[in-house]
Chains A and B, each alone.
Chain A
């Protein structure tokens, strides 16, 4: 670290005057004795109970957000820390959980539906309606063409093997259950999550 005398002198010139002369009693003592402790930033932030999104310890977290959820205050998350009541983590978090604010606000969060055309070198923003309608059209085309109603022995098997679905193990139970119903009703057998990988 190169803090040079030259810089010291520059700083002293620019900013030292007020403070050091203060020490010599040139300004009111009370002004300089008050220490600038940073205000506690969660003072009236809204606290929401949630669970860490990473490993299966699933630590309880307190998420603090800007605003009190009133109509004209848009909630924005400012801090995450451990939930002291949670029997497993008792307020603690690991390096992942303690940094999870950075996941919530990661610059690599997806914000819009995107579409990459065959052969293209880029994603292009599309509307939700376009994306969802396109997906179900592609699904139906493939399913109608490749659905296997009966196997070679004539047994009814009602399966669809040419499309697969990898689900995520970080879904809530409710999202997982809806995913199960949606996928299995189509006859998809290639249906997995992280459980066995």
Chain B
């Protein structure tokens, strides 16, 4: 989230699209009901189904799954065409006025530089600004130049008329326009809109661009960096924010640093591509500090083994040739290219699309280790559960070791919520049986592997045997000691830059903030963005002062919000270029005459005066936010509507480039996509308020509250197929078929797409063959193994199926 859960109460308008906060995040959703009850806010819900969020909305509009960009581009067209943008904000704080290179163009669904053979944009050099002879981006502050980013954007979205939105999305034109008008009311300085989204936007082949579309709208409206504004990812697991920060991700290292690629053969090459020279005069370009963060991290990981002479142990890091994301790994498994797999709290058999492909993959492994507090389908993929998991147990040669992990209540440590607030939790009791904490399990594995390599040698033992593991209790480290390592500390006495005779930090002292990190090996710090969480003043994540002095829901002394305890990102943009709040009502931080002040930590150097014209978006080389994304996205500098891979219609905008042209499709999956002649119904998947992923089917009360898999469908479809409420239905896709009970509802409303009626069905993801809820076919049998062009998030939210009435599933003889 750019803002926070509590900040939602400050908003005037909530747009829930690409998510279902009432269902998936009820306690966070409370801040929507607070904004409605106490701030007069309105709630808009745009969703294929009339959801629990819609139940309390002021306006609901249906949309066909997978068409959000068309809708949002239509909103942009409305805002630009009716001059409902925050002019001064857009001019000062975005790249609206920047002049884009002449070579850049968009024709028939393709941006410049497409390589039709490789299906990637191999030449993205034109996706950039014209530079002057100083290497600075050229701008036209009058916005008259047709090559200004905002003028190119206007041209780009011109095609998304309300009629086109209705044709693609199935959203009735009048509803769409009503929503545009409501959104447009927040273009004034004293009103803001908040965007709340989750997997409904990410789980598409255009996922990242969905979110980017909303970011662009919020920039046009002047709602970024503002209280009650922002683009807010609600997020799934209790510490998915922390674990993302910590980079349990193929090509990342903690704190949004990136592993080297094959092309970065030396440390010098690696750092050269991370110079981040400012693109406008005097800008901060904060990533220029990259090397300080990287070197400090290597010192944390490898201690004395990381030296200037060995380029800070650069070669200890694996270099990547491609991203080994979940889909890629499953594809490799299914192709027999992997031997071993760990599943630590991730039930891959249900979590990855195309369940049959996953099972094929697991079957080809030599061994698998499952570390989990609960039984999972993954740990028991080799068990025959009748038609729910019809495998030949004897022929499966995978060796499986299942380790019992303790759970949250049985251990202490910190976790980071989706507002980026790091909070400590304490242990209440021991785990059951012989369960051990993940920290202990991982430590034992590391130490035993390390001992083997120290004793017997083997392939490149250095990074294993030289990893720092000097904890007081190495087999089961104290979490506070580990959090200190993440925060970082001085390795030598550090002089004060302002007064070299004074020692700022003694060797061994904890770093107060990431500003003191160094690239010379004199500081260590596992993850720069968390620096400040554990200082000489103590463990900030344990802070429990709930006071809210400004009344804006900042709660500055509750836990620690990364970075630097900042609660709203880009908050410099809440003040105008002169440093005055855009409006008294939305006053957040401002220039006092000598420094930036207010209730939050400024997202800005605190003493840079407004007349220095340093932009508020300090992480960008321009200092401004990007309406035009340059080459940062693989599928274009502007969002464009592409049909889901299971395409319901030919894309009306460019039928020859119907789906996202740069989506990665594995050879094994080339024939796995469905077409509307065989599968004429649009399907989506979702979560229920009563369940959490695949865990709570193991909880009796949650199984009581939603006991069984169902497929939700509108009355028109049910009638056409002769299906009654509660009937058993076969749902089939190109990948496979499952059975589910029919839930016939008025809440899936008839829509017209491209001139014909479109039926939508939805399936909750929560069911499987393990747990107390009724045994069910895992619904990921149906979903396609293909992901977003930017980050490979699977397309769970839009695929094609057919439905027909059927008989109940046969219950397996043996449980």
Which residue of the partner chain B has the closest CB to A190?
Answer: B324
- A-B interface contact total, Cβ < 8 Å: 498
Residue from the list B402, B414, B445 in contact with A136, Cβ < 8 A: B445
B249 & A88 in contact (Cβ 8 Å cutoff): no
A49 & B434 in contact (Cβ 8 Å cutoff): no
In Å, the complex CA distance between A117 and B401 comes to 9
Question: How many residues of A are counted as interface, with CB atoms below 8 angstroms from the partner's CB atoms?
Answer: 119
In Å, the complex CA distance between A169 and B595 comes to 39
Q: What's the least CB distance linking B487 to chain A, in Å? A: 11
Q: What's the least CB distance linking B270 to chain A, in Å? A: 12
Indicate whether A168 sits within 8 Å of B689 (C-beta atoms), given known contacts A87-B548, A155-B265.
Answer: no
**Interface status of A139 (Cβ within 8 A of chain B):** yes
A121 & B434 in contact (Cβ 8 Å cutoff): no
**Interface status of B532 (Cβ within 8 A of chain A):** no
Nearest first, the 6 A-B pairs at minimum CB distance are: A168-B345, A111-B433, A172-B413, A110-B404, A169-B237, A163-B340
B428 & A180 in contact (Cβ 8 Å cutoff): no
**Which of B301, B415, B438, B439: most chain A CB closer than 10 A?**
B415
Q: What's the least CB distance linking B547 to chain A, in Å? A: 9
B698 & A87 in contact (Cβ 8 Å cutoff): no
A sample of 29 cross-chain residue pairs with beta-carbon separation below 8 angstroms, ordered by A number, consists of A51-B425, A55-B235, A55-B237, A56-B237, A56-B239, A57-B417, A60-B423, A94-B26, A96-B691, A109-B435, A111-B404, A134-B401, A140-B456, A149-B460, A155-B265, A166-B341, A166-B346, A167-B248, A168-B345, A169-B236, A172-B239, A172-B413, A174-B414, A175-B439, A189-B318, A189-B320, A190-B328, A191-B324, A195-B248
**Interface status of A135 (Cβ within 8 A of chain B):** yes
A115 & B400 in contact (Cβ 8 Å cutoff): yes
Indicate whether A50 sits within 8 Å of B426 (C-beta atoms), given known contacts A58-B417, A172-B239.
Answer: yes
Which residue of the partner chain A has the closest CB to B526?
Answer: A177
Which residue of the partner chain B has the closest CB to A127?
Answer: B434
Complex interface: stretch among A7-15, A21-29, A30-38, A98-106: A98-106
- Please classify how large the interface on chain B is, using the bins under 10, 10 to 19, 20 to 34, 35 or more: 35 or more
Q: What's the least CB distance linking A128 to chain B, in Å? A: 7
**Interface status of A138 (Cβ within 8 A of chain B):** yes
**Interface status of B774 (Cβ within 8 A of chain A):** no
Residue from the list A46, A58, A120, A164 in contact with B329, Cβ < 8 A: A164
A153 & B262 in contact (Cβ 8 Å cutoff): yes
**Interface status of A123 (Cβ within 8 A of chain B):** yes
In Å, the complex CA distance between A12 and B419 comes to 60
| Contact string against B for A residues 167-197, beta-carbon threshold 8 Å, 1 for contact and 0 otherwise | 1111111111111111111111111111111
**Interface status of B500 (Cβ within 8 A of chain A):** no
B343 & A166 in contact (Cβ 8 Å cutoff): yes
**Interface status of B767 (Cβ within 8 A of chain A):** no
Indicate whether A110 sits within 8 Å of B318 (C-beta atoms), given known contacts A77-B429, A92-B27, A190-B332.
Answer: no
B345 & A167 in contact (Cβ 8 Å cutoff): yes
**Interface status of A44 (Cβ within 8 A of chain B):** no
Complex interface: stretch among B134-142, B166-174, B179-187, B390-398: B390-398
Which residue of the partner chain A has the closest CB to B31?
Answer: A88
Residue from the list B239, B374, B792 in contact with A169, Cβ < 8 A: B239
Complex interface: stretch among B80-88, B271-279, B476-484, B710-718: B476-484
A158 & B316 in contact (Cβ 8 Å cutoff): yes
| Contact string against A for B residues 174-199, beta-carbon threshold 8 Å, 1 for contact and 0 otherwise | 00000000000000000000000000
